Amino acid sequence: MVRAAILGTGCAVPAKVLSNIDLERMVDTTDEWITTRTGITERRIASPGEYTSTFATKAAERALEMAGVSADEIELIIVATVTPDFPFPATACLVQNNIKASRAVAFDISAACSGFLFGLSLAEKMIMTGTIRKAVVIGAEVLSRVVDWSDRNTCCLFGDGSGAVVVGASEDGNGILSTHIHSDGSYWELLHQPGAGNRNPATQKVVDERLMFIQMQGNEVFKLAVRAMEEAANEALEANGVGLADLDLFIPHQANRRIIDAIGKRLGIHPDKIFVNLHKYGNTSAASIPIALDEANRAGHIHPGNLLLLDSFGGGLTWASALIRW
Ligand code: UT7
């Protein structure tokens, strides 16, 4: 069977930086609290006129350029996002129009922070089965518009941006060795946006009760994240008969430095093999792994033949992994 491989990576983030010091002037918090409890120093925030599709389009263009693939060749565009430009049409359709990928089928996936790996898994399977030859998978968010900027529990955590990959058939046998995707809806309330869907449609009441903003039980999510991401990593390694010593780079979802450190410790991965860029962007949900992958790639941290493990966790709950021979 054909194996799918990542042919190019790209990312795009807003120019506007919001630092912890800036946040000190907005809510009752300190740079010291945010840094020690989360590892985040600053995050990027979309300006008026910038949308999820703005960053998704730029990230896709950069990934296509690196891959040396033209938009005409793309048969599938997936945007993983919980902050689409509109409830419909899909943000992926807006990206399709922007990049002029007229032959592609385009749709969104909602799996919160695991959305990118869910999309990658779907694209992988469609390439393996010969349904399509080339895809663009994008994680993109403008979370700053669903964050309550008066709630110190959540406003310091999130940021905006997008990362993308071009996926196609592997030419050298390397590529995506496995993807595993999981959900547990019994914990849906731990991390959700109560308003602006059809359970609580956009009304004055929703605005007054601030239901259009993200609500999270951080402590509970923290514990479940560590456990699920550890399990996902072990599942990927076991399924492929490889050990931690074989791993060259671990790219976990960037939500909290303490979560990343706890997983690294439990798995026994040397900190040098864990890629972290959380301090610069905060938690960008579906965009976090593809932004990190692109940064690691462009910074020369990934070489042909390297073994990479991508590992995510998010609202839903959802969690996922991808093991990749680069
Ligand atoms: O993307 C996937 C899902 N998301 C995550 O994985 C996030 C998971 N959770 C977390 O990262 C952490 O739970 C948080 C960073 C959200 C919170 O850290 P924590 O160590 O779990 O703190 P906590 O919620 O137990 O709160 C401790 C204290 C509270 O004060 P009291 O009640 O003990 O007096 C909070 O009010 O810290 C307080 N606090 C703050 N203080 C200053 C919460 N946020 C802030 C803040 N500045 N920004």
Task: Kindly report, residue by residue over 58-114, the tens digit of the pLDDT.
Answer: 999 999 999 999 999 999 999 999 999 999 999 999 999 999 999 999 999 999 999
Instruction: Return the residue whose CA atom lies nearest to atom 43 of ligand 1.
Output: 153
> Which residues have CB under 6 Å of ligand 1?
29, 33-34, 37-38, 113, 152-153, 156-157, 191, 218-219, 221-222, 225, 255-256, 259, 283, 313-314
Q: H/E/C letters for each residue in the chain?
A: CCCEEEEEEEEECCCCEEEHHHHHCCCCCCHHHHHHHHCCCEEECCCCCCCHHHHHHHHHHHHHHHHCCCHHHCCEEEEECCCCCCCCCCHHHHHHHHHCCCCCEEEEECCHHHHHHHHHHHHHHHHHCCCCCEEEEEEEEEHHHCCCCCCHHHHCCECEEEEEEEEEECCCCCEEEEEEEEECHHHHHHEECCCCCCCCCCCHHHHHCCCCCCEECHHHHHHHHHHHHHHHHHHHHHHHCCCHHHCCEEEECCCCHHHHHHHHHHHCCCHHHECCCHHHHCECHHHHHHHHHHHHHHCCCCCCCCEEEEEEEECCCEEEEEEEEC
> Which CATH number does the domain 3-172 belong to among 3.40.47.10, 3.40.190.10, 3.30.420.40, 2.10.70.10?
3.40.47.10
Is 113 a catalytic site residue?
A: yes
CATH of domain 177-277+285-325: 3.40.47.10
Nearest atom in ligand 1 to the alpha carbon of residue 38 is 15
Q: How confident is the model over 130-172, as pLDDT tens digits? A: 999 999 999 999 999 999 999 999 999 999 999 999 999 998 9
Domain spans in the chain, listed from the N-terminal domain onward: 3-172, 177-277+285-325
Mean pLDDT of 38-49: 98
Q: Do domains 3-172 and 177-277+285-325 have the same CATH topology?
A: yes
Give residue 1's pLDDT band: very low, low, confident or very high (50, 70, 90): confident
Distance 279 CA to ligand 1 centre (A): 16
The pLDDT score that the predictor gives to residue 10 is: 98
| pTM across the whole model | 0.97
Mean pLDDT of 300-326: 98
Distance 91 CA to ligand 1 centre (A): 31
Q: How confident is the model over 235-264, as pLDDT tens digits? A: 999 999 999 999 999 999 999 999 999 999
User: Which mutation among 31, 37, 43, 83 tests ligand 1's pocket best, with the greatest number of atoms within 8 A of CB?
Assistant: 37
The pLDDT score that the predictor gives to residue 171 is: 86
Q: How confident is the model over 159-207, as pLDDT tens digits? A: 999 999 999 999 898 999 999 999 999 999 999 999 989 999 999 999 9
